[in-house]
Amino acid sequence: MENRTYTADAEPGDTVTVAGWAHEIRDLGGIAFLIVRDTTGRIQVKFEKDEMDDDLVDTGVDVTRESVVRVSGDVEAEERAPTGVEVVPDEVEVVADADPELPLDPSGKVDADLSTRLDNRTLDLRTEESKAVFEVRAEVLRSVRERFRELGSIEINTPKVVATGTEGGTELFPVTYFGREAFMNQSPQLFKQLMVGSGLERVFEVGPIFRAEEHNTPRHLNEATSIDFESAFFDHGEAMDACEAVVKAAYEGVAENCREELETLGYENFEAPSGEFPRLTYEAAIERINATGRLDEQLVWGDDLPTEGEHALGEEVGEHYFITDWPSEIKPFYIKDHDDDEELSTGFDLMHPSMELVSGGQREHRHERLIEGFEQQGLDPDAFEYYTKMFKYGMPPHAGWGLGGERLVMTMLGLDNIREAVLFPRDRQRLSP
């Protein structure tokens, strides 16, 4: 729109055209106010009924809430106005009418349940709180990309429709690809690994992953955003260093650039983590969980950590921490074992006190061992020949990780449900919008 002024930029003395939504209409008799909201804020428009044209006043006062309006006029200082200025209009146009019955109240005065909000995201994202979550999400993605570039990695995009899964056969979404069976990709795992053997060496990707898991929990999605990293000539320790740097960058970016959003969301003292994230071995982790006495049954070597165990440990540690040296048998085939102990893998997880954020590790880069790994996991190495073949042509040692984007935003903002951090979540019930 030509000559549009954002409400936040309107200064006394200006003649402006503002455009946005009718946030509120207050008719006090001789005088009426229309509050116009746009992406930058709100501005008051004043109607003095005796002094203004009747049609102009009627248009401004009779408009339904949330209709799209365009208002032209002079900006004046008015200390009683919410933002200290108001527009004295000489033209008001209703650009798009809103139905008087709204499925939710964008002024935020009446709370809506999550399901109603997700069904009506357009209206939901007119509320300051919801909008703030997605501003934060955008800043998280901006700052992680920046840190990845500082770490010398190049952004890649890999296929999402694939012939084979990698992260467990039962969690695949099948699709038909020109009459052939195909799947939605669960992880860019194999593709990012192939790139460390290419001239790119160090790569990252921000993209969707698809998991057909049955879980319907506040922290699982069936389509999530994975922030993936992989580097040639990195071991698991160096991969953890990069992971820590990227997670901290996300917090630092938000602390620095999202002050207003954090205020809207009720944070007074949002702080980026400063010290080094502690690194605990899996063995130490299960011992500490057992010592809390919170689990009905004691954990033994080889057990996955149950949610309740993660919470018990998270409460004790009280900050982000890594769990390292997992048993080889519970890590995927592509994770390398320690050279001096085959029972022990180089796999690691990064934990927020409330949940897992990242899995990673050094990868098996020796061709023969890789083939054995496929077989041990019950996967047919022939189906992955496009991948294993490249390990015959000079594949360097390498390591990397995958970070759940929504879980990062959810834990950073203390959201109750991961769905709040996704515009249009995909879960067991939701396939539209």
Positions touching ligand AMO (CB under 6 A) are 167, 187, 189, 211, 213, 220-221, 224, 226, 228, 356-361, 400-402, 404, 406-407
Looking at residue 83, the DSSP 8-state letter turns out to be T
Residue closer to ligand AMO, measured from CB, 226 or 264: 226
| Torsion sign (Cα): 58, 60, 65, 67 | positive
Give strand ranges (E) for 284-335. Answer: 321-324
CB atoms within 10 A of CB 273: 13
Residue closer to ligand AMO, measured from CB, 189 or 388: 189
As measured in angstroms, the least distance from the Cβ of 404 to ligand AMO is 2
As measured in angstroms, the least distance from the Cβ of 210 to ligand AMO is 9
Coil, helix or strand at residue 44: strand
As measured in angstroms, the least distance from the Cβ of 239 to ligand AMO is 9
List, as own/partner pairs, every contact residues 292-295 make where C-beta atoms lie below 8 angstroms and the sequence separation is at least 24, other chains included. 292/316
| Residues 6 or more apart in contact with residue 264 via CB below 8 angstroms | 128, 129, 132
As measured in angstroms, the least distance from the Cβ of 25 to ligand AMO is 42
As measured in angstroms, the least distance from the Cβ of 392 to ligand AMO is 22
What's the count of helices (H) and strands (E) in the chain, helices before strands?
Answer: 12, 18
| Residues 6 or more apart in contact with residue 286 via CB below 8 angstroms | 299, 300, 301, 303, 305, 309
Residue closer to ligand AMO, measured from CB, 60 or 207: 207
As measured in angstroms, the least distance from the Cβ of 309 to ligand AMO is 16
Residue closer to ligand AMO, measured from CB, 309 or 400: 400
Q: Supply φ then ψ for residue 343, to 5 degrees.
A: -75, -15
Residue closer to ligand AMO, measured from CB, 81 or 240: 240
As measured in angstroms, the least distance from the Cβ of 230 to ligand AMO is 7
As measured in angstroms, the least distance from the Cβ of 45 to ligand AMO is 44
How far, in Å, CA of 367 to CA of 414, rounded?
43
As measured in angstroms, the least distance from the Cβ of 407 to ligand AMO is 4
| Residues 6 or more apart in contact with residue 180 via CB below 8 angstroms | 163
How far, in Å, CA of 324 to CA of 64, rounded?
58
Q: Supply φ then ψ for residue 46, to 5 degrees.
A: -105, 135
Residue closer to ligand AMO, measured from CB, 73 or 404: 404
Asked whether the bond before 433 is cis by omega within 30 degrees of 0, the reply is yes
Residue nearest to ligand AMO (CB): 404
Give strand ranges (E) for 101-195. Answer: 154-155, 161-162, 174-177, 180-184
Tokens of 341: 């102990």
CB atoms within 10 A of CB 205: 23
As measured in angstroms, the least distance from the Cβ of 167 to ligand AMO is 5
